[in-house]
Chains A and B, each alone.
Chain A
Amino acid sequence: MTLATPVRTAGSLLFNPGLKRNRTDKLFTSIAALFSLIAVLPLFLVLIYVLIQGGQLISVSLFTQLPPAPGLEGGGIANAIIGTFVVTLVASLIAIPVGVGGGVYLAEYASSGWFAQFIRVGNDILAGVPSIICGVFVYSAVVATRLFFGQSYSALAGGIALAVLMLPTVIKTTDEALKLVPQELSWGAIGVGASKFVTITRITLPSAFTPIATGVVLAIARAAGETAPLIFTALFSPFWPEGLFNPIASMSVLIFNFAIMPYEAQNSLAWAASFVLVILILGANLLARWIRRFASS
């Protein structure tokens, strides 16, 4: 009994790496690998540069002192750190209730009516509006009209501008998260006699908590790094924050202002602020990732 031994001929079924099609395949795989390498390269370069340039400036005074006057050395970015938290908090306090409420309407009350479709399309368009135009809008609507007690530039105006930016993300995540909640849950709640209000607030919203929280954390992280909506709403201030109705410093505007100054001290503070901001934002992103993983396990 003789077994046919496989031989490599043109018609063989064995894999032949020398064939043109297989070599082309290898070539394209290498190109894709190269493209992926180029795609992740900027992240490393930016992170390394920010960590080195900013990390060496981390000191106690950075978190406790005001920025120095142009030409002077030392100082810190304490007011800008507080300012970023204040403005982002104001934005979250506006955008989260409005966005979750709007999302509840879209998903629970009018999932397919013309009005809901209209709001959904409007929401997508709002998400595409350039952030600088949000700033121009809030400037014209709030700052130029001196809406709040005759104050022009204010932390509140900055918060509103960031809220306009966050709103589409929050609405979209809420809408999509609520649609994923199984219908049986709310049927069950209605079946045992709960009202629609109780069903939504006690059953539907809590079961969609994880995706909504993830989306909200990502939206906050994005807002905290935004600069364009703040430069003519919250403006900047070299002093400690003076309440919601006065201009306030923020890390992102500080980076922008100090990067283009011809002074060494200001440039290094811009790097230090980038360091703090990048750590905070990457931290928030990892938190969002952790929430997702924690919930799925």
Chain B
Amino acid sequence: MVIRSESDQDQFTLRRRPWAERSIDRGFKRLTIVLASLVAVVLLGIFLTVFSGAREAMATFGLSFLVTSGWDPVNSQYGAFTAIYGTLVSSLLALFIAVPLGVGTAIFITENLIPRSWREVIGVMVELLAAIPSVVLGLWAIFMMEPLIRPFLNLLHQSLGWFPLFSTTPKGPGMAPAVLILVVMILPIITAISRDALNQVPQELRQGAYGVGSTRWIAIFNVILPAALSSIIGGVMLALGRAMGETMAVTMIIGNSMNFSWSLLAPGNTISAMLANQFGEADGIQVSALLYAALILMLLTFAVNIMAQWIVRKFSLSYN
């Protein structure tokens, strides 16, 4: 009896875990902390690299760098206005075209307007469009899209040539084809995020709207879209950030001209296109000027992304 009770007691005493097991546990946790911290390290590294490289140009050119448009490597005079203007105008115009298209497509594939299988097919196709590499889209833009749209651009120039935005003859690469290729690139993002947002609108809201006698589109405009609006705007802001940082397709089709022009039909430039073209061969203060422009691009995308997250968090409706 005594022996049995002793063995029972033995069975139920808590044993300390072996040293090896505890140290593996602790080591694994520390390893994951280090790996997670790498994100912060890389982000900080990117910011510090760009900032420290840009300091020389910031000291030399100051804030006038943002509003002057000369880019003269011979005399070391640099101003990034053309590129900053190009970045903002190309991405905003692209957004202006892509938002109605993307949200319209999202409504078409979520609101039960066509059979489910069709909806899935369209959804998959838009997602596949997002997977096509930007450099392939650039190649396509050079050899197919630009020759295809040039007659239309010519027509635009002939009929509206007095207007500063259409005041030059389209001669190939330029801002207008770059805007169109940006539309192709950000359309899938806007569609995907709007689709998710619309899918998350509770069915009860739709049923309520139909119940009081609204037609499908009255319900969409007055009930469903407002309910999904914050996520859609967040997605639009993300797309704006993507459009501003997009490099390859734009570089290949925008013409890379450092001469400022109001015309959308003339060659232009963006910050990322300028980096892609010049950074590899630049030296001296040109590198610093390019990094100054890169810093501006980073701050722009940073601000847009932060705002996107803030909008989603601040205005998202909850239905609990």
- Give the residue of B108, B139, B248 whose beta carbon is less than 8 angstroms from that of A35: B108
Nearest A residue (CB) for B32? A105
- Give the residue of B35, B220, B244 whose beta carbon is less than 8 angstroms from that of A98: B35
Docked-complex contact A25 and B216, CB < 8 angstroms: yes
Give, as a whole number of angstroms, the nearest-CB distance from A231 to chain B: 6
On chain A, the residues within 8 Å of B215 by CB distance are: 21-22, 24-25
On chain A, the residues within 8 Å of B242 by CB distance are: 128
Name the interface residues of B280-307: CB closer than 8 Å to any CB of A.
280, 291, 294, 297-298, 301-302, 304-306
On chain A, the residues within 8 Å of B165 by CB distance are: none
- Give the residue of B122, B140, B297 whose beta carbon is less than 8 angstroms from that of A133: B297
A123 within 8 A of B: yes
A274 CA to B133 CA, complexed, in Å:
9
- Give the residue of B25, B126, B301, B302 whose beta carbon is less than 8 angstroms from that of A40: B126
- Give the residue of B53, B113, B131 whose beta carbon is less than 8 angstroms from that of A222: B131
Docked-complex contact A136 and B294, CB < 8 angstroms: yes
Docked-complex contact B33 and A105, CB < 8 angstroms: yes
On chain A, the residues within 8 Å of B128 by CB distance are: 43, 282, 285
A45 CA to B129 CA, complexed, in Å:
11
Docked-complex contact A136 and B139, CB < 8 angstroms: no
Docked-complex contact B107 and A132, CB < 8 angstroms: no
Q: A25-B217, A285-B127 are in contact. Are A130 and B247 (CB under 8 A)?
A: yes
Name the interface residues of A253-297: CB closer than 8 Å to any CB of B.
255-256, 259-260, 267, 270-271, 274, 277-278, 281-282, 285, 289
- Give the residue of A43, A125, A136 whose beta carbon is less than 8 angstroms from that of B275: A136
Tell me which of B4-12, B36-44, B67-75 binds A. Answer: B36-44
Give, as a whole number of angstroms, the nearest-CB distance from A110 to chain B: 8
A33 within 8 A of B: yes
On chain B, the residues within 8 Å of A123 by CB distance are: 39
Tell me which of A60-68, A73-81, A137-145, A181-189 binds B. Answer: A137-145
A200 within 8 A of B: yes
Docked-complex contact A101 and B36, CB < 8 angstroms: yes
On chain A, the residues within 8 Å of B131 by CB distance are: 218, 221-222, 225, 281-282, 285
- Give the residue of A43, A104, A232 whose beta carbon is less than 8 angstroms from that of B125: A43
Q: Mark A138-181, 1 if CB is under 8 A from B, else 0.
A: 01110000000000000000000000100110010000000000
On chain B, the residues within 8 Å of A22 by CB distance are: 215
A240 within 8 A of B: no
Interface size of A by CB at 8 A reads 85
Nearest B residue (CB) for A44? B125
Docked-complex contact A49 and B28, CB < 8 angstroms: no
Interface size of B by CB at 8 A reads 87
On chain B, the residues within 8 Å of A43 by CB distance are: 125-126, 128-129, 132
B16 within 8 A of A: no
A140 CA to B305 CA, complexed, in Å:
25
Q: Mark A204-248, 1 if CB is under 8 A from B, else 0.
A: 000000000000001001101111100110000000000000000
A106 within 8 A of B: yes
- Give the residue of B108, B134, B135, B241 whose beta carbon is less than 8 angstroms from that of A128: B241
**Most chain-B CB neighbours within 10 Å: which of A130, A140, A218, A270?**
A130
Docked-complex contact B245 and A195, CB < 8 angstroms: no
B160 within 8 A of A: no
Docked-complex contact A225 and B272, CB < 8 angstroms: no
- Give the residue of B101, B144, B280 whose beta carbon is less than 8 angstroms from that of A231: B280
- Give the residue of A36, A140, A228 whose beta carbon is less than 8 angstroms from that of B108: A36
Name the interface residues of B298-320: CB closer than 8 Å to any CB of A.
298, 301-302, 304-306, 309
Q: Mark B157-195, 1 if CB is under 8 A from A, else 0.
A: 000000000000000000000000000100100010000
Give, as a whole number of angstroms, the nearest-CB distance from A266 to chain B: 12
A83 within 8 A of B: no
- Give the residue of B40, B102, B138 whose beta carbon is less than 8 angstroms from that of A256: B138
B207 within 8 A of A: no
B262 within 8 A of A: no
Docked-complex contact B140 and A49, CB < 8 angstroms: yes
Docked-complex contact A118 and B40, CB < 8 angstroms: yes
A106 CA to B37 CA, complexed, in Å:
10
B105 within 8 A of A: yes
B60 within 8 A of A: no
Name the interface residues of B19-37: CB closer than 8 Å to any CB of A.
21-22, 24-25, 28-29, 31-33, 35-37
A38 within 8 A of B: yes
B252 within 8 A of A: yes
Q: Mark B114-136, 1 if CB is under 8 A from A, else 0.
A: 10000000101111110111111
B46 within 8 A of A: yes
Docked-complex contact A126 and B39, CB < 8 angstroms: yes
Q: Mark A98-122, 1 if CB is under 8 A from B, else 0.
A: 1101101110110000001011011
Q: A35-B100, A128-B238, A231-B276 are in contact. Are A122 and B43 (CB under 8 A)?
A: yes
Give, as a whole number of angstroms, the nearest-CB distance from A112 to chain B: 14
4 additional A-B residue pairs with CB within 8 Å, beyond A25-B217, A255-B135: A102-B39, A129-B298, A228-B247, A277-B133
* Nearest 8 CB-CB pairings of A with B: A130-B245, A225-B133, A35-B104, A101-B35, A105-B32, A128-B305, A102-B36, A228-B247
A-B contact pairs, 8 of them (CB 8 A): A39-B101, A116-B36, A132-B272, A133-B294, A167-B38, A274-B136, A277-B133, A278-B136
